[in-house]
Amino acid sequence: MSRRKIVAGNWKMNKNNNDALQLIRDILATNLPRDIHTVLALPSIYLKNGVDMLKHIFGIDVAAQNCHQEQSGAFTGEISAPMLSSISVPYVVIGHSERRQYFYENNEQLAQKVDAALANGLQPIFCCGESLDIRKSGDHVIYVSEQIRESLFHLSDDKWANIIIAYEPIWAIGTGETASPGQAQEMHAALRSMIGIEKSADIADNLSILYGGSVKSTNAADIFRGADVDGALVGGASLDAGGFLEIVDALAQS
Ligand code: 13P
């Protein structure tokens, strides 16, 4: 798959059933630009409804926010990639910093989750990003490159067509403090270059790299100016249809 422009909304653990379904309806009632791929990363409990509501609509899909690395078994409370696949969920967010921080997911386990997703026909939206301390130390590119090497570099070349990367600096998530357009572009370019050198130019060129961390309608256009920024993974601002549409529009116009 070649490089695509994508805006994914990560709803995290927000919205009750009625509000979630209404927000999907509100997003569908907006005029989503057709050349952007829009993804809604819903809480698992709403995924089946989301799939049913979106299945005939071009350019918009749901994502799960996580999946377990095992196919099935005694893992109470978990959701497997085959389960997601069985209700036709096309995407799954893997390695979000909140999963790494609160559920102790590490690079090795995330590599297994990526494998489970791909083996079941799901496209991983693989998240990476550094803490404020690492950013201040100046080692942010090395650190994020290592996250990618450890969780994705075991994949054979053909698998990369189904990978999307989301760079989300932890210090910019939910803080209102976004990376500057220059900081986002610097990291995206560094990752693309590293993947180009260590994997192949073809893989690097065709990879969509999204930025996440306090993206809003007011800063999206600036962030999307970066040549290596192919879209956004949006948290808080994806919970309002109007604001979310403005971000998708900003990408369409970039
Ligand atoms: P915010 O947009 O709320 O900062 O969240 C970003 C994020 O974590 C998306 O996955």
Rg, Å, the chain Cα set: 17
Backbone angles phi, psi at 213, to 5 degrees: 135, 95
| Percent of the chain with pLDDT strictly greater than 70 | 100
12 C-alpha to ligand 1 centroid (Å): 9
Quick one: average pLDDT of 199-215?
A: 97
Weakest-pLDDT range from 25-34, 41-50, 87-96? 25-34
Residues 73, 105 contacting (CB under 8 angstroms): no
Helix 47-54 vs helix 17-29: crossing angle, to nearest 10: 20
pLDDT given at position 175: 81
Identify the pLDDT of residue 174. 81
For a mutational test of ligand 1's pocket, the pick from 214, 219, 244, i.e. the residue with the most ligand atoms closer than 8 A to its C-beta, is 214
pLDDT of residue 1: 67
What pairs with residue 80 in β-bridges? Answer: 68
Q: How far is it between the farthest Cα atoms of the chain?
A: 48
Q: Which atom of ligand 1 is nearest to the CA of 173?
A: 4
Measured distance CA(102)–CA(250) in Å, rounded? 32
The reply to whether 146 belongs to the active site is: no
| Residue among 116, 209, 222 at smallest CA distance from 179 | 222
Quick check: 176 pLDDT over 80? no
Q: Is the pLDDT of residue 217 over 90?
A: yes
Q: How many residues does the chain have?
A: 254
Q: How large a percentage of the chain has pLDDT more than 90? A: 96
Q: Which atom of ligand 1 is nearest to the CA of 98?
A: 8
226-236 pLDDT, tens digit per residue, is 999 999 999 99
- 73 C-alpha vs ligand 1 centroid, how far in Å? 31
Mean pLDDT of 178-204: 96
- Supply the mean pLDDT for the chain: 97
pLDDT computed for residue 34 by the predictor: 87
Strands 91-94 and 123-128: parallel
Residue listed under structure tokens 């919205």: 15
Please state the rounded mean pLDDT for residues 110-123. 98
Q: What is the pLDDT of residues 60-115, one digit of tens each?
A: 999 999 999 999 999 999 999 999 999 999 999 999 999 999 999 999 999 999 99
* pLDDT surpasses 80 at 20: yes
Q: Tell me how crowded residue 231 is: count the other CB atoms within 10 A of its CB.
A: 30
| Structural domains of the chain in order of their starting residue, each with its CATH number | 6-252 (3.20.20.70)
Concerning whether 168 is annotated as a catalytic residue, the answer is: yes
> Can you give the pTM of this predicted structure?
0.97
**What distance, in Å, lies between the first and last C-alpha atoms of the chain?**
21
Tell me the mean pLDDT in the region 119-145: 97
Give the pLDDT mean for 124-151.
97
Q: Give the per-residue pLDDT at 177.
A: 78
Residue 119 pLDDT greater than 80, yes or no: yes
pLDDT tens-digit series, residues 50-62: 999 999 999 999 9
- Residue by residue, what is the 3-state secondary structure of the chain? CCCCCEEEEECCCCCCHHHHHHHHHHHHHCCCCCCCEEEEECCHHHHHHHHHHHCCCCCEEEEECCCECCCCCCCCCCCEHHHHHHCCCCEEEECCHHHHHHCCCCHHHHHHHHHHHHHCCCEEEEEECCCHHHHHHCCHHHHHHHHHHHHHCCCCHHHHHHCEEEECCHHHCCCCCCCCHHHHHHHHHHHHHHHHHHCCHHHHHHCEEEEECCCCCCCHHHHHCCCCCCEEEECHHHHCHHHHHHHHHHHHCC
